Structure 1
C-alpha cells in the first residue's frame, strides 16, 4: 500500500543513533537533533509520510528516568488524541530500549503503534545502522499492519513485541531477539510482513491516584549467584517497597536463603523470576527447600516468563499506582507474565 498522506510523530530521546565524536577525545555523546537524524535517512521523503518531529530529550538511554517516560507517554497521548498522526516513532539508545518500550507498553492504551528504534553503530563507523532503522520504523508506524500491537521495537528490519524483546549482544547490529517467540515480522519493500498474528495485549493498571507514601517507590532487583550468602538481601530489608528475585534455573535458590525471602515476602511483594534469558519460572515441578514450590508457598509471586528487568517495571508500576494488595499483584503477573504458556 502507499504511505502517502499518512502521518507519524517522531520523538527523539538521544542515544547512539544521535551521537557525534568529540574532535579532541574521539569520545561519543548524543548531540544530533531529531531534524538532523531525519535528514540523514535516504529515501525517507519518497515515502510521502508527514513527520511531526519532537526533539524531546538528548540523553544516553542509561540516563533516562521514569519521569522522562511518564512525560513521553503524556506527549505521545496528546499527539494521538489530536487525531493528527497514524503512529509514533521513538528514537533512543539501545541500552535500555527493551525496558522503556515495555514500560510504555504498559501505559499505552491506543490502537496506534508506538515504534521504538535506535542504532548499534554510530555515524562514525563503517555501515551505521541508524538511518536504515529509522526508515524501517517510520514505515512500521505509518502503515496499518501493527494497529493494536502496542509498543514494538524495530531494529535490523525486524519487528519485536515490547513484551518479548531482549538485547542479547553488546555490539552486534543483530543484537535484538525475542526468545521463545521470535520477531512479529519483517520490514521489507516499504511494508511490514507479519510472521505471526499479533498477540493479545494486556496493558498495565491505570493511574488510580494512589500514593506510594512520602518517598518514591523503590523496587529492588536481586540476582541469585552460586554460593549467595544472603547478605545483600539483609541490606535490602526495610529499604524497598518491592523486590524482584532473579533466581537460578526455573526459579530456585539455595535453601539457606528461604527464611530471609519468606521474611521479606511477609512485608513487601517479592516476585520470583529467573536469571536465565529464555523460559518461564515453573510453579509446580520441583519440591525441595529453595525450589519454586517452596518459594511460592512461602509467599513469593510467580513472575511467569517476564525478564527480571521487565518484572521490576511491572511491579513498580503496580505499586506506584496504589496497588499494594498481594492478590491483585499476583493477578497482574498471572495476566501479563504468563501469556503464551
Structure 2
C-alpha cells in the first residue's frame, strides 16, 4: 500500500455505531470519525481516508431508497478516483444490502461492507477489528474487480453468498455454499478464489415496487401466498427442500405465476433449487413447468433483492428469468480459480 491509496468510508449506523441511550439500551450515535478514531493501528496502513456520515439508522430500518442513493454516492466516489470503499452498517440486513450494492455496482475498486455484533460499550467489541480488516481489504489490489464483499471476523465473503447465521456470535457471517473467498491474516489480504461478477441492474430511484416473501410450512394451502401476491408486484417463495410445496398450494402458485413473477427458492439456506429430480404435484419440476422462476443457489432473501431491483428497472419476465439464471450460477459456474 502507498500513501496515495484512498478509501472512502460510508457510515450508515448500526451496532458498530451505537452507544448507550438515556432511555435504556443502545442506539446509533457514533459518526464515521468516531468509528475510525477507535481503530488501533490505522495510521500504519498509510491509507488516506475520506469519511461520509451517510445515515444514522439501525440496520433493520435501512430501505431500498437508502441503498439506491448509497450506490450513486459510491459511483461518484469511484469516479473521483477513490481506490476502495468501506460501508459500515447494522448486521440485521448486511446479507441483503451487500448483495443489493453488488447488483448496482459495476466498478473495479472494491466495495467492502462490515459492522459489529458487539456494540462499543460491550467487552470484546468487534467493530474496530472488523473495520480495520475492511479498510485493509478495500485498499488491497487483491479485492479489485470482485464487486461488493463482506468482511467479518477476518474472513472475506462474496456478497452474493454470505448469510448471517447466528443472532449474536462474532462469527455470525458465513457463506454456506462456497465458504469465504479470502482471509485477512497478519495484516495481509489473501483472496485465492476468484469468481465471475453477477449482473448489474439500474433501478429507477422513483420506483415503488413491492416484492413479497412467503416461507412455505407444513400444511400450507396457498391462501397466505395469494394474499401476499395480491398486494405485490412479485413474489419469492421459500419452498421446502430442493423446491417443493404441498400439493394443495399448487393452484395458488400457478395462478400467481400467470399474473406476477414468482421466484422459487429454498428455505433451507444451503444448496440449490433443483430442476428435474422430482416429478410429483408440487415438486420443483412441476412448479417450474407452471412458470415459476428458479433462484438456483440464491437464497430467498437474495432472490427477493434481485427480483425487487429488476422490477424497479422495468425488466421483462424473460429478462428476469435470464438474469436469475446468470446470478444464481445456473448459466455458468459462479466460482473459478485464478
TM exceeding 0.5:
yes
Residue of structure 2 equivalent to 1:316: 308
Deviates more, 1:232-241 or 1:260-269: 232-241
Residue of structure 2 equivalent to 1:78: 76
Offset of residue 210 of structure 1:
11
Residue of structure 1 equivalent to 2:114: 117
Offset of residue 162 of structure 1:
0.2
Aligned-residue RMSD, C-alpha: 1.5
Paired with 2:47 and 2:105, the residues of 1 have a C-alpha distance of: 23
What SS does the corresponding residue of 2:190 show, helix, strand or coil?
Answer: strand
Paired with 2:15 and 2:258, the residues of 1 have a C-alpha distance of: 43
* TM-score, normalised with respect to structure 1: 0.94
Q: Which among 239, 244, 264 is matched to residue 252 of structure 1? A: 244
Offset of residue 327 of structure 1:
1.8
Residue of structure 1 equivalent to 2:291: 299
The answer to whether the 8 Å contact 2:223/2:252 transfers is: no
The answer to whether the 8 Å contact 1:16/1:60 transfers is: yes
Paired with 2:44 and 2:206, the residues of 1 have a C-alpha distance of: 49
Unaligned runs of 5+ in 2: none
Residue of structure 2 equivalent to 1:332: 323
The answer to whether the 8 Å contact 1:254/1:290 transfers is: yes
Residue of structure 2 equivalent to 1:19: 18
Paired with 1:167 and 1:147, the residues of 2 have a C-alpha distance of: 24
What SS does the corresponding residue of 1:56 show, helix, strand or coil?
Answer: strand
Paired with 1:197 and 1:183, the residues of 2 have a C-alpha distance of: 9
What SS does the corresponding residue of 1:125 show, helix, strand or coil?
Answer: coil
Paired with 1:199 and 1:262, the residues of 2 have a C-alpha distance of: 35
Q: Note the alpha carbon deviations across 1:43-81, whole angstroms, 9 max, x for none.
A: 001211000000111100110111111111111111100
After superposition, residues 131-210 of structure 1 pair within 5 angstroms as 131-194=128-191, 196-207=192-203
CA pair 119-99 structure 1, distance change in 2 beyond 3 A: same
Q: Which among 265, 281, 285 is matched to residue 289 of structure 1? A: 281
The answer to whether the 8 Å contact 1:108/1:203 transfers is: no
Residue of structure 2 equivalent to 1:40: 38
Unaligned runs of 5+ in 1: none
The answer to whether the 8 Å contact 2:106/2:200 transfers is: no
Offset of residue 273 of structure 1:
0.2
Offset of residue 3 of structure 1:
4.1
Q: Note the alpha carbon deviations across 1:222-269, whole angstroms, 9 max, x for none.
A: 000011122212312431111000000000000011011000000001
Paired with 2:23 and 2:205, the residues of 1 have a C-alpha distance of: 48
Paired with 2:293 and 2:199, the residues of 1 have a C-alpha distance of: 19
The answer to whether the 8 Å contact 2:220/2:248 transfers is: no
The answer to whether the 8 Å contact 1:3/1:143 transfers is: no
The answer to whether the 8 Å contact 2:296/2:325 transfers is: yes
After superposition, residues 215-254 of structure 1 pair within 5 angstroms as 216-254=208-246
Paired with 2:185 and 2:3, the residues of 1 have a C-alpha distance of: 17
What SS does the corresponding residue of 1:96 show, helix, strand or coil?
Answer: helix
Runs of 4+ in 1 over 4 A off after TM superposition: 209-212
The answer to whether the 8 Å contact 2:226/2:256 transfers is: no
Paired with 1:223 and 1:127, the residues of 2 have a C-alpha distance of: 36
Deviates more, 1:231-240 or 1:328-337: 231-240
Paired with 2:245 and 2:216, the residues of 1 have a C-alpha distance of: 7
* TM-score, normalised with respect to structure 2: 0.95
The answer to whether the 8 Å contact 1:159/1:186 transfers is: yes
Paired with 1:59 and 1:3, the residues of 2 have a C-alpha distance of: 33
